[in-house]
Amino acid sequence: MAPRVLTLDDILDARAYERQRDVMRNRVISLKESRRVAVGPVVSLVFENRDTVLFQVHEMARAERAFSDDAVEELLNTYNPLIPQPGQLSATLLIELTTKAEMEHWLTRLVGIETAVRFEVARAGSPTVVVPCRVEEAHAANLTRSEITSAVHFILFDFTAEQADSFLKDSVALVVDHPFYNERVELSEATKSSLAADLFS
């Protein structure tokens, strides 16, 4: 099994990346079609994997002109924790707002939303399995505020082997349970199949 963590050897130099950028971007756009889940009107989760994070590191290196090994290592240290390990799912939580009025309305109300997400797996004849999220620690200090929330958070879900097995076989809902935002959505089979690769590979 190939290691999931990214190293310097995985990162193309600037010229090589420019030659491959369109192919990589189109591949990740296609990949994210089944890995982006809207939960209600303003919250979406994009489930990350090694490929999405690899693209993100390349894009950040390009934007920041991070061409030295030290600069790229710093990006890897930032983004490697977002790659899910077996038995784990990783997501970027996005509060998708387009106007100043929406930001003023939602960002103060949704403080703490990064701890209010869970999976609910409905097993026939058995209690519902609940898998809560946890905040990715390396990013929490920069994104957590007491009076206003960030529009972006990074969260993880840790599954036991039994929970992972149920995730693939049973009905799965993604739930946001917050005092000012209570929404749920059933995952499609395409999304479950894509995420199952993270849990089992």
Q: How far apart are CA 177 and CA 61, in angstroms?
A: 36
CATH number of the domain enclosing 194: 2.60.40
Does residue 3 share a domain with residue 25? yes
Task: Report helix, strand or coil for 85.
Answer: coil
Contact at 8 Å (CB) between 153 and 93?
yes
Q: How far apart are CA 34 and CA 191, in angstroms?
A: 5
**How far, CA to CA in Å, does 60 sit from each of 18, 54, 63?**
13, 10, 5
For residue 103, give the H/E element and its range.
Answer: helix 100-106
Does residue 109 share a domain with residue 178? yes
pLDDT value at position 126? 82
Does residue 164 share a domain with residue 144? yes
Q: How far apart are CA 200 and CA 61, in angstroms?
A: 30
Does residue 179 share a domain with residue 119? yes
pTM summary value: 0.91
The domain of 179 spans 39-48+86-201
Contact at 8 Å (CB) between 187 and 172?
yes
Our count of domains for the chain comes to 2
Does residue 175 share a domain with residue 90? yes
Does residue 93 share a domain with residue 76? no
Task: Report helix, strand or coil for 47.
Answer: strand
Does residue 72 share a domain with residue 115? no
Does residue 109 share a domain with residue 200? yes
Does residue 138 share a domain with residue 67? no
Does residue 67 share a domain with residue 141? no
Mean per-residue pLDDT pooled into runs of 10, the chain (201 residues): 81 96 96 96 97 96 94 94 94 96 94 96 86 84 74 95 91 97 96 92 73
